[in-house]
Amino acid sequence: MTRAPSPAALHTLTAGSSGPRIAFLHGLFGQGRNWQQIAKGVVGEGGSDARALMIDLPDHGRSPWTDDFSYETYAARVADTISAWAGDEPVTLVGHSLGGKTAMIAALQHPAGFEKLCVVDIAPRSYHNLHRFAGYIAGMQALPLEELTSRRDAEERFAQVEPDPGVAAFLLQNLRRAGDSWAWQCNLQLVSRDAARGSASRIADFPYAVNAGDPLPAPSPFGGPTVWLAGSESGYVADEDTERMRELFPAVRKVTVKGAGHWVHTDAPQVVIETLRRLLAVR
């Protein structure tokens, strides 16, 4: 993996040397590198089957922070970053959860920059609040950063509030040491402030949703081939979401991955890799 140039100041990683271009967006509290296994599988052993770009969204990973959350801002920054990487070449955009909403908005607002779309376990609607992440946010805020002596110390303390080792490792990837002090690399204050808005949460919302708090004008649909991946055990995608998804993305094809939860690409990586390779082959 090598770092790609990022004139838009979003941190990125690349994989692959030739072939169609594909860009990946992570979910809340994630980082671009969370897509490395999938990206390696898509670009192939020789790196010639595709070229992949993995992006740290604003307020995440090594990308700069914002003062207030906005999907429109996220989408614009993503579009600029991908344009600087791909130029006029067609790009397939993949996004999970928060990144899935960002990907949808980027495709709707900047359709010339994208050829195909893959939305992973999220729907174009408001989820009303961030209650599913409330425990994670509280646990991260409760970690006494000034008392930590090592990463192992952080892991042991955090295990008391988040017993699932996979979830704990995912969240603690955001913890960084600078000299003798520790800090959260993600903009935890911004996420916490947004979660405190309750039903007015902008992260939980979707600007083009029928039930959005402050909906944008209806956009022109994105006509490119679109795959909509949903985990059968997740609950983030419901049957009633299909009508709105088809209104915005008329060429959508829904794929439900059996046995997968919300992190579909972690639970069923080979299914996701094969799905994306087939999507790249669509003409």
pLDDT given at position 179: 84
pLDDT given at position 6: 40
Is there a catalytic annotation at residue 88? no
Which residue, of 154, 170, 195, is where some domain finishes? 195
pLDDT given at position 221: 95
Of the residues 26, 60, 110, 262, only one is catalytic, namely: 262
The residue segments making up the domain with residue 237 are 2-127+201-281
pLDDT given at position 5: 42
One domain for residues 72 and 53: yes
Determine the Cα–Cα distance for residues 181 and 155; give it in Å rounded to an integer: 16
pLDDT given at position 178: 83
One domain for residues 102 and 37: yes
pLDDT given at position 122: 98
pLDDT given at position 73: 95
pLDDT given at position 238: 95
Determine the Cα–Cα distance for residues 156 and 143; give it in Å rounded to an integer: 11
One domain for residues 227 and 262: yes
pLDDT given at position 209: 66
Is there a catalytic annotation at residue 262? yes
One domain for residues 210 and 109: yes
Of the residues 6, 56, 59, 97, only one is catalytic, namely: 97
Of the residues 56, 59, 194, 205, only one is catalytic, namely: 194
Is there a catalytic annotation at residue 26? no
One domain for residues 118 and 25: yes
pLDDT given at position 226: 98
**Residue ranges in the chain modelled with pLDDT below 70:** 1-8, 209-216
The DSSP line for 36-91 is: HHHHHHHH-TTS-S-EEEEE--TTSTTSPP-SS--HHHHHHHHHHHHHHHHTTS-E
Which residue, of 170, 195, 220, is where some domain finishes? 195
pLDDT given at position 186: 97
